[in-house]
Every structure is written in C-alpha cells, then in structure tokens.
Amino acid sequence: MTTKHDQIIQYIMNLEAGSAISVRRIARELGVSQGTAYRAIKEAENREYVKTFPRIGTIRVEKDEKRGIERLTFAEAAAMVDGTVLGGSGGLNKTLARFVIGAMTPDAMEKYLSSGSLLIVGNREEAFRLALEHDCAILITGGFGCSDEIRRLADEKNLPVISSSYDTFTTATMINQAISERLIKKEILLVEDIMMHDPKFLYEDEQIGEWRRLLKESGHSRFPVVNRAGKVVGVLTPKDVPEASTGPIHMYMTPNPITITRKTTIAYAAHIMIWEGIELLPVIEEGRLIGVISRQDVIKAIQYMKNQPQMGETMEDIILANFGSKRMDNKMRFSGKVTPMLTSHMGTASWSALTMLMSMAGIVTLKSFRQSDIAIDTFTVYFVRPVQLEDMLDIDVEPVEEGRMYNKVEICVYRDKELIAKAMLAAKAMRK
C-alpha cells in the first residue's frame, strides 16, 4: 500500500519544472498534515526533484545531472546575485545560454539578444521590453524594479525578471566567480558517476550455498548482504567463508559494514578503502542498497580525473603553477618566487601557504617516484626563518623511507642555501 509520503513524492515528480511548491498548498490539495508535507518536500529536495532558492522559494526542477556551465539555470543565476524575482517565475528552471551586458543603446543591443540569454542592465524600461520581445530574461542591477506591464509580459512568456541590489560590475564579478567555482566542482567525480547500479547481493537469511552459486555466475567474490527490507546489514567476502561451511549467511558475513552515499566524492571513498583495507563499498540511500563500488572502480576514476582537461584552477594548482621542477638523482627540486598570493597581511610569506606548497611538492614527488596515487598519513613541519615577497625559494624533496604501501619524504625549503623550513611527510600508496 502506498503511503502518504510516497504519494506526495509522486505528486511533486509529476509537476512541471518551474512550478512553485509550498507546504500549505500540498497539505491542502492532498489532504495531508503540514508536517507530512514538509517531510516529503525535504525528501524530494534530497532526491534533487526540488530546490529552495533564497528570496525565490521552493520550485520543481529537473533532476540535477552532472553538467557544464552551459546548463546553468535562471534560478541559479538569481541565487548567485541574491536576486529577487519580480516576474516570470515559471521560467526559472529554463537553461541560460549566455549573458549580455546592456551597456549600449537599444538599437545596438538588439543584435546581441537571443532566446535563452540573460540581459544584465540598469533601470531602462525600453531595454526590458526589447529583451522580452526577443525571449531574453532580465537581471536588473541597482535594486530597481519594473513596471506592471513588464511583469505581465514576463509572466506570459515565462521569462524571469530578476532584481539585484548590486551594481552591474559587482553583479558580473559575482557571476564570474560563481561560474569559476562551478567549473572546479565539475571536475570532482562522485560515487554516483562510477557506481555499479542494480548490483548482485545476498539476503542475510539465505544459505551459504547461495553465495557459492552467485560466485560462479557473476565472477565476483564480494557481495553486500541485505535484510528483507533491502537495508544493508553486512558484506560477505571469500576470507569470511571457511571451506565446506554450511548455514545461513548472517553467520559468516562482516556485520555493520562501512557504507557511502551517491554524493560521496571519489577521493573520500579512496581514503576509506586505503585506511580500512577494504575492496568493496556498498552505496546506500535511506539505508537501502542502490549500488556498489570496488577498489578497481575507484582507481580507474582517479586515472580519469588525471586525464580530464583542466576546467577551473584550485588554490593548490595556482600556488604550485609558479614553481618549476626538475629531478636530481634521488630527489626533486622545485624552484620559484614568493608571489603576492603567498604572502600574509604583514608582507611575509604566509605559513599556511608555505605549508600547502611543501605538502604539494611532497605529493608530486611521491607520485613521480612511485607511479601510484597516494593519501597523506602525517605531515610535520618546522619553520626556521620568515620569507619576504619576491624571495627565490628552492624546495628539495628526498625520499627517506620506501615500502610497498608506506612512504616517507623529507622536504627542505632554502633561500640562497639558507634553511627556511623543514618537514616530514608520510603517505600510503593506493594500489590495485
């Protein structure tokens, strides 16, 4: 029997993208309590069927897929600039094609306006009308409003008219910054990108013979174990099952396994697998099994991320980009200048930035020597002398201990052969 909670979720899924959603409206239309409606809306938000935007409200959206900047929506643009929607809210979930800054006469502006564009403009009524006639949404800067006629036209065409209190320059800067952050996030792979959907699994009350049958049929040796409600209760691997053993699976499985969700990052999953020494991670949603990932899946994903074109620069990328590197016998040397980005408010090199620089140099060296991905275990650093802006630094990284899974490097920072800082970095290697 379908519960009220499931009925509300289905009702939300059947709404058109861009439809406004409220607790009171759902409670009234479906005859449920406001508490039940609220819980269902939060669940729909977790499943990415709806989104809540400041000053806009909760609206139905298409389920968020991994996408590039070309899939930015008007609602997301409004949230970036703390905007208030004046009209055309039905089009908030439409895709934004490009931005146009209206710093020109209407005649000159017309050739740049096209369907799906967002016109960023000040208090210019004639530009508003021209944009809507060309199926172009509007972002009004300076906190200005618009006439009732423009609101009616925007509602008719489902083209958002958004007002932001910031000026045009600040608005464009905020959008560019938000886009840059989205481009960095685009590079981050999540478990949902690589997990195996509809995996083979075992029930806890089945006999161990079922595991042997599944082992022969699938070619896999590790399986999640669930109860009859579909919730993960364990994992069964060959080392758990003695030869000629009999009895129910729950007698042999490893109970209470580590689990992850579809939104867990690949980096975090890799960290868990290395530290816990496990080969399989069940992926759950509300406790129920929805997929699995293996160590091989994670390693392939990390290799893919290495080959992925750089779309946005992180702080680590920017800092290390100013330093060249060369291999010298059994060590690596990184040389570069202290740039303004590395300095503190006092004008000397920031200790935190130098720490990041040293750790990145250590990681790059280990990857170069070991040809494998690593995860930092410990990092101990000692600072001896301050560093000034424009100083030239040499960072020498030398392996001091190499094992099959565990490695250590010594990191020394010099300025004109004078020791500035010293560190010891220990890391674990991730192997197939």
* Domain containing residue 269: CATH number: 3.10.580.10
For residue 16, what is the domain's CATH number?
Answer: 1.10.10.10
Beta bridge partners of 328: 331
Q: Are residues 239 and 169 in the same domain?
A: no
Specify if 387 maps to a domain.
Answer: yes
Q: Are residues 168 and 270 in the same domain?
A: no
Q: Are residues 178 and 196 in the same domain?
A: no
Instruction: Give the separation between CA 100 and CA 83, rounded to whole angstroms.
Output: 17
3-state SS, residue 177: helix
Radius of gyration (C-alpha) of the chain in whole angstroms = 28
For residue 109, what is the domain's CATH number?
Answer: 3.40.1390.20
- Pairing, β 406-415 against β 418-430: antiparallel
User: Hey, how many other C-beta atoms are within 10 angstroms of the C-beta on 136?
Assistant: 25
Q: Are residues 170 and 196 in the same domain?
A: no
Specify if 309 maps to a domain.
Answer: no
Residue where a domain stops, chosen among 154, 185, 216: 185
Instruction: Give the separation between CA 371 and CA 365, rounded to whole angstroms.
Output: 10
Residue where a domain stops, chosen among 162, 185, 208: 185
Q: Are residues 326 and 248 in the same domain?
A: no
Specify if 310 maps to a domain.
Answer: no
Q: Which phi and psi angles does 228 have, rounded to 5°?
A: -70, -15
Specify if 287 maps to a domain.
Answer: yes
Q: Are residues 219 and 135 in the same domain?
A: no
CA proximity to 202, closest of 124, 257, 136: 257
Instruction: Give the separation between CA 155 and CA 159, rounded to whole angstroms.
Output: 7
Residue where a domain stops, chosen among 161, 185, 209: 185
Q: Are residues 296 and 369 in the same domain?
A: no
In the numeric block, the tokens 């070309």 are attached to 70
C-alpha distances in Å from residue 175, one per residue of 29, 31, 76, 77, 178 = 38, 41, 10, 7, 5
Q: Are residues 137 and 217 in the same domain?
A: no
Instruction: Give the separation between CA 247 and CA 251, rounded to whole angstroms.
Output: 7
Task: Pinpoint the alpha helices (H) of 223-346.
Answer: 266-276, 295-307, 315-321
Q: Are residues 18 and 51 in the same domain?
A: yes
pTM above 0.95, yes or no: no
Per the structure, the count of domains in the chain is 4
Structure tokens at 416: 């004109």
- Print the domain residue range for 230: 192-304
Specify if 17 maps to a domain.
Answer: yes
Q: Are residues 236 and 337 in the same domain?
A: no
Q: Please report, in tens digits, the pLDDT of each residue of the chain (432 residues total).
A: 567 888 888 888 888 777 888 888 898 888 889 888 898 888 888 877 888 877 667 888 776 544 444 467 888 888 888 888 899 888 888 877 788 888 888 888 888 888 888 899 998 989 999 999 989 999 999 989 999 999 999 999 989 999 999 998 888 888 877 776 665 555 567 888 888 888 889 999 999 888 888 888 887 888 999 998 889 999 998 888 887 678 888 888 989 899 999 888 887 888 788 777 788 899 998 888 999 998 888 877 776 665 554 445 556 666 677 788 888 878 899 999 888 888 887 778 888 889 989 998 888 888 777 656 677 889 999 999 988 888 999 999 998 888 777 889 999 999 998 999 999 999 887 654
Instruction: Give the separation between CA 110 and CA 134, rounded to whole angstroms.
Output: 8
Q: Are residues 88 and 42 in the same domain?
A: no
